[in-house]
Amino acid sequence: MERLLPEIDDTNRYYWEAAREHRLSLLRCQDCRTWIHPPRPNCSKCRSERLSPEAASGRGQVYTWSVMRTPGNPGFDHKLPYAVVVVEMDDQKGLFTVGNVDCPLEAIRIGLPLEVTYEKVTDEVTLPQWRLAGEGAR
């Protein structure tokens, strides 16, 4: 079965264009400077609609994770077992993103430092993923 890919539209195009260039870009409120992810039309803190994409650090730590061991996720069966992590970004407490982590499953623990890496899936879609911090250049 073919891997499901994200739908790119006007609300998230900035994110996917940056990922193709191996940059992590997230929305940030221009009034209170709160980071916003996933994309939405207004700031969750001050309700401002003045949001703009900005470069994020690409660093964070494991907040929680799940190990996938059974088939059924399109395009991932050949990777079993693999981990899906919720990453709390260093940029702001409570700023989360989700992805796969490329490290031994037994190494994953809460608080494990991670850095973003990129997986080119198609010419249009490059996925931000995660690896152990210090594992090489982004």
| CA torsion through residues 29, 34, 35, 41, sign | negative
Q: Which pTM value belongs to this model?
A: 0.91
Q: Is 88 exposed, middle or buried (0-12, 13-18, 19+ CB in 10 A)?
A: buried
Q: How far apart are CA 64 and CA 67, in angstroms?
A: 11
Q: How far apart are CA 57 and CA 23, in angstroms?
A: 9
Half-sphere exposure for 19 (CA within 13 Å, toward CB)? 23
Phi, psi of 18 (to 5 degrees): -65, -45
Q: How far apart are CA 29 and CA 108, in angstroms?
A: 32
What pLDDT does 136 receive? 60
Q: Residue 3 falls within a domain, yes or no?
A: no
Whether 137 has a pLDDT exceeding 60, the answer reads: no
Q: Residue 8 falls within a domain, yes or no?
A: no
Q: Residue 2 falls within a domain, yes or no?
A: no
**Average predicted confidence (pLDDT) for the chain:** 94
Q: How far apart are CA 138 and CA 125, in angstroms?
A: 17
Provide the number of structural domains found in the chain: 1
Interval 88-112: pLDDT, tens:
999 999 999 999 999 999 999 999 9
Q: Residue 50 falls within a domain, yes or no?
A: yes
Whether 1 has a pLDDT exceeding 60, the answer reads: no
Q: Residue 5 falls within a domain, yes or no?
A: no
Least confident window among 52-61, 66-75, 105-114: 66-75
Tokens describing residue 41: 């039309």
Q: Residue 70 falls within a domain, yes or no?
A: yes
Domain that holds residue 61: 13-132
Interval 34-58: pLDDT, tens:
999 999 999 999 999 999 999 999 9
Q: Residue 6 falls within a domain, yes or no?
A: no
Angle CA 111–54–33, to nearest 5: 80
pLDDT band at 119 (very low <50, low <70, confident <90, very high): very high
Q: Residue 115 falls within a domain, yes or no?
A: yes
